[in-house]
Amino acid sequence: MKNKFIKLIVSKLLIACLVFSSVGMAFAATAATTTDIKGHWAEPQITSWIEKGFIKGYEDNSFKPNNSITRAEFVALVNRSFAFTEQATISFKDVKASNWAYIEIAKGVKAGYIKGYADGTIGASKTISRQEVAVIVDRLLDLSAAASPSAFKDGSKIGTWAIDAVDSAVAAGILKGYAEDNTFKPANPITRAEAVVTLDRAIAPSNVVYNTAGTYGPATGNEVVNKDVVINTTGVILQNMTLNGKLTFASGIAQGDATLKNVTVKGDTTVQGGGVNSIHLADSVLATIIVDKDPSQGAVRIVAEGTTTVGQVNVNSPVTLQETNLTGTGFGNVTLTDKLPAGSEVILKGSFDSVVVLADGIKLSLAEGSIKSLTVSATATGTTLDVAAGTTITALNLDAVTTVTGKGTITMATLSAAVNATGLQKFETAPGTIVVGTATPVPTATPTPGNGGGDPGNGGGGCTSNCGTTPQNGTVTGFVYDSNDTAQSGAVVSATITGATYYSATTGNDGSFLISGIPVGSISSLTVTQNAYQSVTYNTYSVAAGTNTPIGIVRLIPNMTLAAASVTSNTYLDITVNQGVYGTSAHNSPVTVNSFKLTLSDGTASIPIIQSVTKVDGTPLAVTGGDTTIRVYFTVTGTPGNAQKLTVTPSSSTSIYNSSGSPTSVKETLITNIVPSN
């Protein structure tokens, strides 16, 4: 059966383009015809606002950027840019219902950012001052208090009623002083250019900035924040929040610490500050972390605790990634990018699924724990890898000569043909298995079937009998879990060529397996068997010379009587998406069985379990992801009804990413496709 995901529809909020209706503001000039903004410091923002229809120039093709603006005119700009439409009932002495400003003032009062005076007026026709604008901005954005007062020379001239708002707006970068004399000029009328730039900053994905140490967020429940968030001082704790934008641990943290407790971050998290006292992530979910601290300020330590899950970590500066008292998945995939300066050190403490090194001249230390798959790319020349005693790397892939030190365990090391040809690759502690490629591919000999055999203790394996002169040029690795994601040790994984079992291996304690020595170009299938579980067959794949073919996770399900629940041809579903999908935002891994979730409704069958995820021809997904057609093998328990619905969705908000690096939210429901067998 062929099914398609509903194509992603990218929706954008279109703010209505309204125009001033008063005689004094009946402008006609456009961005293209306006003559007096060329070269003005606010030209980009003014041009953008004219194009959006938020403001217009005058009939003489001027804009008059340095003219003042009235309170009513500023309120109208706020209403347009923030899309305020609801109106309050107002009765100010100086704004009659026939006045063009009446509706705009009514909207501003309803939105709560402007108030009248004690004499019953609103001052609609008065020019608005810079400090009045600061108060309005503070009310609009609910800015947090600044850590310290703004140090303007004329700070004493700021009204007591406005001082906190000015400090907060300046700290948030919405308003600025005059650099030439370090003044704010609080009582000066704000100019048209300044008004546009100020509101343009305010309506941008606005930042919530924490400049004061303390705990923020509700004690119980969850607070949703739809703005980008910046932590800019040490001692800040965010708790019980969902951040729909980006999060920045800014340089203002210096060598201090900051903490997330039960926080979900859907945008990128950038770490620019923090020291040995750490960025702590407790019981939190983060899509992507970008470590980008000024290297001259030293390394930062990031600690994942409790149920914390991080999809991807991109390392651009020295860092220690540490997992402590962890029950979640912790740091998933880690990439040491080519932005990481030579001479940097990255220290890992915990259990890591995948680590990729792209930077050259760096030191990577596995100080505690394990890495399932570590790849040193061809660009990562001069890499030093230290594997401390008591640590384990299951699969080490070396595409560049690497200095490998330490007493830790390397279950299997795969050397590329280029690395092997140098003869320079050395290990302080020899890996359990070394798979070497050749400088040029060796022609495939006709295999003589054998019974294979692997090391049941460490997941190693390979051809051990009747091998003849078959070149040992390819390897296949993967992991075997049950439906509860528990690693299955002792499962037998057999590679079959032209109907005969040729190679096999047994999974280790972490569920990993390695089958080495498979002939180049062999068309094979893998069968996984384990006591008390149904066997699973992973369809055909082709092994390339001197390379490892990772197939990801194969999930087993318990033996059960399916009888009437057999789903005939419905043992898999095919998904077609309108753009390539990935398992990480960095586009360096494919989707897996953990990326999707299946649910059944309107019937008695239940517990759909995904067994494996492949291309539609059964071959492995691309190592770096990006497939547009995917086959999901599954099984169900119970007796389906004729109208039972099977729904496939991402397993979480950060389990599948599109070609832009953003999490996808797609859903496909299959109706009457799950039927009882005859």
- Residue 41 confidence (pLDDT) above 50: yes
CATH number for domain 560-671, candidates 2.60.40, 2.40.10, 3.30.1330, 1.20.1090: 2.60.40
Q: What pLDDT shows up at residue 534?
A: 58
Q: If pLDDT is split at 50, 70 and 90, which confidence band does 112 have?
A: very high
Tokens 């890898």 belong to 385
Task: Name the percent of the chain in helix, strand, coil, to the closest 5.
Answer: 15, 35, 50
Residue spans of the domains in the chain: they are 23-203, 207-436, 454-555, 560-671
On whether the CB atoms of residues 586 and 335 are closer than 8 A, the answer is yes
On whether the CB atoms of residues 425 and 401 are closer than 8 A, the answer is yes
For the chain, the farthest-separated pair of C-alpha atoms sits apart, in whole angstroms, at 102
Q: What pLDDT shows up at residue 440?
A: 24
- Residue 271 confidence (pLDDT) above 70: yes
Q: Which of 84-98, 403-417, 576-590, 653-667 has the lowest mean pLDDT?
A: 653-667
pLDDT in tens, 272-304: 899 888 899 999 988 889 999 988 889 999 999
- SS3 at position 370: strand
- Residue 400 confidence (pLDDT) above 60: yes
Q: Tell me how far apart the alpha carbons of residues 158 and 187 are, in angstroms, rounded to a whole number.
A: 8
Q: How many helices (H) and strands (E) does the chain have?
A: 7, 37
Q: What pLDDT shows up at residue 585?
A: 77
- Across 366-370, 373-377, 597-601, the highest mean pLDDT is recorded for 366-370
- Residue 565 confidence (pLDDT) above 50: no
Task: Quote the tokens at residue 464.
Answer: 């051990």
Higher pLDDT, 547 or 72: 72
Q: What pLDDT shows up at residue 627?
A: 83
> What are the CA-CA distances from residue 638 to residues 87, 149, 486, 571, 648 (Å)?
57, 67, 23, 14, 18
Q: If pLDDT is split at 50, 70 and 90, which confidence band does 108 have?
A: very high
Task: Quote the tokens at residue 358.
Answer: 């792209």
Residue 208 burial (10 A CB sphere; 0-12, 13-18, 19+): buried
Q: Tell me how far apart the alpha carbons of residues 574 and 589 are, in angstroms, rounded to a whole number.
A: 20
Taking residues 26-49, report their average pLDDT. 71
Q: Give the Cα-Cα-Cα angle 238, 244, 245 (nearest 5 degrees).
A: 90
Q: Which of 608, 612, 614 is nearest to 645 (CA)?
A: 608
Taking residues 548-573, report their average pLDDT. 49
- What is the phi/psi pair of residue 580, to 5°? -60, 145
Higher pLDDT, 400 or 6: 400
pLDDT in tens, 470-505: 333 466 777 787 766 677 888 877 776 655 555 667
Q: If pLDDT is split at 50, 70 and 90, which confidence band does 389 have?
A: very high
Q: Give the Cα-Cα-Cα angle 324, 484, 508 (nearest 5 degrees).
A: 75
- Residue 579 confidence (pLDDT) above 70: no
pLDDT more than 90, % of the chain: 35
Q: Give the Cα-Cα-Cα angle 242, 246, 250 (nearest 5 degrees).
A: 115
Superfamily designation of domain 454-555: Immunoglobulins (2.60.40.10)
Q: Tell me how far apart the alpha carbons of residues 567 and 349 are, in angstroms, rounded to a whole number.
A: 45
pLDDT in tens, 163-176: 999 999 998 889 99
Other Cβ atoms within 10 Å of 23 Cβ, number: 7
pLDDT in tens, 631-641: 777 776 665 55
pLDDT in tens, 57-72: 777 788 889 999 999 9
On whether the CB atoms of residues 81 and 74 are closer than 8 A, the answer is no
Higher pLDDT, 150 or 496: 150
- Residue 127 confidence (pLDDT) above 90: yes
| Amino acid at site 5 | F
Task: Quote the tokens at residue 227.
Answer: 């703005």
Q: Tell me how far apart the alpha carbons of residues 544 and 444 are, in angstroms, rounded to a whole number.
A: 11
Higher pLDDT, 646 or 198: 198
> What are the CA-CA distances from residue 523 to residues 112, 158, 472, 476, 518 (Å)?
69, 78, 15, 12, 10
| Amino acid at site 184 | F
Q: One fold for both 454-555 and 560-671?
A: yes
Higher pLDDT, 633 or 412: 412
Tokens 């860092």 belong to 319
Higher pLDDT, 500 or 109: 109
Q: If pLDDT is split at 50, 70 and 90, which confidence band does 392 have?
A: very high
pLDDT more than 70, % of the chain: 72
On whether the CB atoms of residues 554 and 488 are closer than 8 A, the answer is no
Q: Tell me how far apart the alpha carbons of residues 237 and 231 are, in angstroms, rounded to a whole number.
A: 9
- Residue 462 confidence (pLDDT) above 50: no
Antiparallel, parallel or unpaired: β 536-542 and 596-601: unpaired
